[in-house]
Copies of this chain bind each other. A is one copy, B any other.
Amino acid sequence: MDGGVKKTGVTSSQVAQRAGVSQSAVSRSFTPGASISPETRAKVLAAAKELGYRPNAIARSLITNRSRIVAVVMAYLDNLFYPDVLEQLGRLLAKEDYRLLLFTGLAGGDSDPVFDQLMQYRVDGIVLASTSLSSELSEECAAAGIPVVLFNRTTERDAVSSVTTHNREGGRRVAEYLLAGGHRRFGYIAGLESSSTNRDRLAGYREVLGEAGHKDILVEVGNYDRAGAQAAARKLLSRPDRPDALFVANDHMAVAVMDVARYELGLSVPEDISIVGYDDVGPAQWDAYGVTSMSQPHRRMVEATVEVLMSQISSGEIAAEHRVFSGELIVRTSARLPPSGVVEVEGRKVFRPER
């Protein structure tokens, strides 16, 4: 056992003694903007360095009533969209000097234990990017006076802040694209039926198709899950009246669907069937898939999330704020090209129909 420092944390009082000042002086030396002379501060910092002192954030939280911790609830991470979001959340929160307490891999539906944790650790804010338990949890937290931001989803009553994209518009755009491509039979593979995101995308899709006289859309549910999406795809694509245009509620499912179409059913994409996804996330961009997809500007969405959170934390106001972004329909190879409307913007092909 060489001189390894034991679990005995160095305290501000020890530093104070060493530096020949009061504990208050030590505290003030580590508090930006506090009243402390440069000389005293220098003495304190020197002593602190010698002893390896770091302020105890736990004790600090107790007195300031601020933990500088933001909780992020993200039920599953197998859709790369979420790890992407998580990584940038970590980056931006760190920049604001906040820590990220992650709740993931939780047993479905059971929101109470999570809520307990959040309350017990007195987190300063919460990002809910998970799916099922959002509505219950968000109401509880908002009621407890903790700022909450729903990421990529909303609740019925707009009582809780949210950051989303125009999902209904997105659904409409996809329909327009597929119509322009001359497709005839339309299908949809849903995410979680209960999720706002899914409902809005489908609603927009239905609207435009309905206006064009296509009322009978084949719908199967994939639950935002790879296996679920594949099961849905098998059902939908083995029908005699198989659709020639398929909108899949997100890219994570879209690539799964493409695998089924190509390798299980021997279909060609997009010759036999056009597939459009949502999110414009990692694998969708890979050459093996090349998914035509509605993008969600997740960088800006995360920025907005942190902005809203920080503003609510510092103001104490938790009036609900809703930030809604717009995406683009990124054109790749998984769906037949329409004769017009595809333009090149910043090196990417996007669909912008002339009205």
Q: Does A13 contact B (CB under 8 A)?
A: no
Q: Is the interface of A mostly helix, strand, loop or mixed?
A: mixed
Task: Closest B residue to A94 by CB, please name it.
Answer: B106
Q: Does A349 contact B (CB under 8 A)?
A: no
Contact, CB under 8 Å: A77 / B67? no
Q: Does A314 contact B (CB under 8 A)?
A: yes
Contact, CB under 8 Å: A2 / B316? yes
Residues of chain B with a CB closer than 8 A to A121's CB: 57-58, 99
Q: A6-B145, A106-B94, A316-B7 are in contact. Are A99 and B117 (CB under 8 A)?
A: yes
Contact among B3, B6, B62, B317 with A65 in the assembled complex (CB-CB below 8 Å): B6
Task: Closest B residue to A259 by CB, please name it.
Answer: B287
Q: How far is the CB of A177 from chain B (nearest CB, A)?
A: 23
Q: A61-B58, A80-B80 are in contact. Are A316 and B5 (CB under 8 A)?
A: yes
How many angstroms between the C-alpha atoms of A50 and B135 in the bound complex? 23
Most buried by B among A86, A100, A104, A122: A104
Q: Does A270 contact B (CB under 8 A)?
A: no
> For the side of the interface on A, what is the size category?
35 or more
Residues of chain B with a CB closer than 8 A to A263's CB: 287-288
Residues of chain B with a CB closer than 8 A to A142's CB: 4
Residues of chain B with a CB closer than 8 A to A91's CB: 104-106
Q: How far is the CB of A54 from chain B (nearest CB, A)?
A: 4
How many angstroms between the C-alpha atoms of A87 and B105 in the bound complex? 5
Q: Does A315 contact B (CB under 8 A)?
A: yes
Q: How far is the CB of A223 from chain B (nearest CB, A)?
A: 17
Residues of chain B with a CB closer than 8 A to A143's CB: 4-5
Question: Please, could you name 28 A-B residue pairs with CB atoms under 8 Å apart, sorted by A?
Answer: A1-B314, A2-B314, A2-B316, A5-B145, A5-B316, A7-B144, A7-B146, A7-B316, A54-B119, A56-B120, A57-B122, A58-B67, A58-B121, A58-B122, A77-B83, A77-B84, A77-B87, A78-B80, A80-B83, A82-B83, A86-B104, A90-B103, A91-B106, A99-B121, A259-B288, A262-B287, A264-B287, A288-B289
Q: List 5 additional A-B contacts (Cβ < 8 Å) besides A56-B62, A57-B122.
A: A5-B316, A58-B58, A72-B102, A78-B87, A91-B106
Residues in A lying within 8 Å of B, measured CB to CB: 1-9, 52, 54-59, 61-62, 65, 67, 69, 72, 76-78, 80, 82-84, 86-91, 94, 99-106, 113, 116-117, 119-122, 142-146, 255-256, 258-259, 262-264, 282-283, 286-289, 313-317
- What 4 A-B pairs come out closest when comparing CB atoms? A91-B105, A5-B316, A4-B316, A77-B83
